[in-house]
Amino acid sequence: LGRHKDDDRPSHFEYNGVRFGQDTFNVFAGLCAVDNREHVEMMLKAVRDNGQVCTRMGAYKPRTSPYAFQGHGKACLPWVFELAGKYGIKVIAMEITHESHLNEISEALHQTGNPTGVMLQIGTRNTQNFELLKIVGRQTEMPVLLKRGFGITLDESLNAAEYLASEGNRNVVFGLRGMKTNMGDPHRNLVDFAHVPVVKRLTRMPVCIDPSHSVGTRAAGPDGILDVMHATAQGVAAGANMVLVDFHPVPTKALVDGPQALLIPELPHFLEDVQIAREAY
Ligand code: PEP
């Protein structure tokens, strides 16, 4: 992926008709966690109506508390994929936390006739789960969104990406999602989007930003602009190739991370802002 630049392999890949590279740009707006069919359908319709073909939908949720909603898992995959097909979604970013999820997703995609594709997300808690990385690297060519570990160095996270590549899967997008600090920050994590150009300089990977998990709140500045929007603009203007962002039709009813979700009527404005930041880049 570029840590050991020993050849001039292309720095882009295509999956299910969508191109990913250091010169492409895709927005993955969607639900942090799949909750019910009605919300999923509202979200997918909004994504389609706003000209997008990618989304995020979490089925397996890694939660801090064992008593919190853990995601519907395998059970929701058939109807989520079926609905995604109905709305012309080409790629869904979906986190996996265990190797068995890889097979569950592949089987459900197959059984529903591959109406859509999945970008496997490996979250910040599993960045250095080397056995999971090796299995994903070996067993699939599905693209992988590997999030930066929230408490390790950038170098360690980039080496984690190499675990995927060294086992055979080079279709990797690197995700920045903020870092933990003990400073009592107003945001859930310290936004690290100044590292977008750094990762692009050091590797061949396209870089994703996740403003929702970085900021963690719908708080707005004195200008009335949501901090999530500000962070997004910073990351996109810095050259991000992908934005993973949480929306929800009724955030108060979201089962995971409702307080950071944007509202569906805000999607057109969000995409316009992103376009302006992209032009600024
Ligand atoms: C997520 O994207 O749903 C998530 C849990 O992200 P992270 O791994 O960055 O916390």
Instruction: Please tell me the predicted confidence (pLDDT) of residue 3.
Output: 57
Q: Is the CB of 145 under 6 A from ligand 1?
A: no
Centre a 10 Å sphere on the Cβ of residue 252 and count the other Cβ atoms it contains. Answer: 8
Instruction: Please tell me the predicted confidence (pLDDT) of residue 10.
Output: 62
Which atom of ligand 1 is the closest one to the Cα of 175? 9
Instruction: Please tell me the predicted confidence (pLDDT) of residue 185.
Output: 86
Ligand 1 pocket mutation, candidates 95, 120, 144, 244, criterion most atoms within 8 A of CB: 95
Instruction: Please tell me the predicted confidence (pLDDT) of residue 177.
Output: 98
ipTM (interface predicted TM): 0.98
Which residue from 53, 22, 54 is spatially nearest to 281, judged by alpha carbons?
22
- Could you give the angle at which helices 77-86 and 37-49 cross, rounded to 10 degrees? 30
Which atom of ligand 1 is the closest one to the Cα of 150? 9
**Ligand 1 atom 8 nearest Cα:** 123
Q: Is the CB of 246 under 6 A from ligand 1?
A: no
Q: Phi and psi of 216, rounded to 5°?
A: 75, 15
Radius of gyration of the chain (CA): 17
Which atom of ligand 1 is the closest one to the Cα of 93? 2
Q: How far is the CA of 212 from the centre of ligand 1 (A)?
A: 9
Which atom of ligand 1 is the closest one to the Cα of 124? 8
Q: What are the pLDDT tens digits along the chain (281 aa)? A: 865 555 566 679 999 999 999 999 999 999 999 999 999 999 999 999 999 999 999 999 999 999 999 999 999 999 999 999 999 999 999 999 999 999 999 999 999 999 999 999 999 999 999 999 999 999 999 999 999 999 999 999 999 999 999 999 999 999 999 999 988 889 999 999 999 999 999 999 999 999 999 999 999 999 999 999 999 999 999 999 999 999 999 999 999 999 999 999 999 999 999 999 999 99
Q: Is 0.90 surpassed by the pTM of this model?
A: yes
Q: Is the CB of 123 under 6 A from ligand 1?
A: yes
Which residue from 77, 93, 157 is spatially nearest to 125, judged by alpha carbons?
157
Q: Is the CB of 30 under 6 A from ligand 1?
A: no
Domain positions in the chain are 21-265
Q: Which CATH superfamily is domain 21-265 in?
A: Aldolase class I (3.20.20.70)
Q: Is the CB of 90 under 6 A from ligand 1?
A: no
Tokens of 155: 């170098």
Instruction: Please tell me the predicted confidence (pLDDT) of residue 28.
Output: 98
Buried b (16+ CB within 10 A) or exposed e, 218-247: beeeeeeebbbbbbbbbbbbbbbbbbbbbb
Measure the CA–CA gap between 77 and 65, rounded to whole angstroms: 23
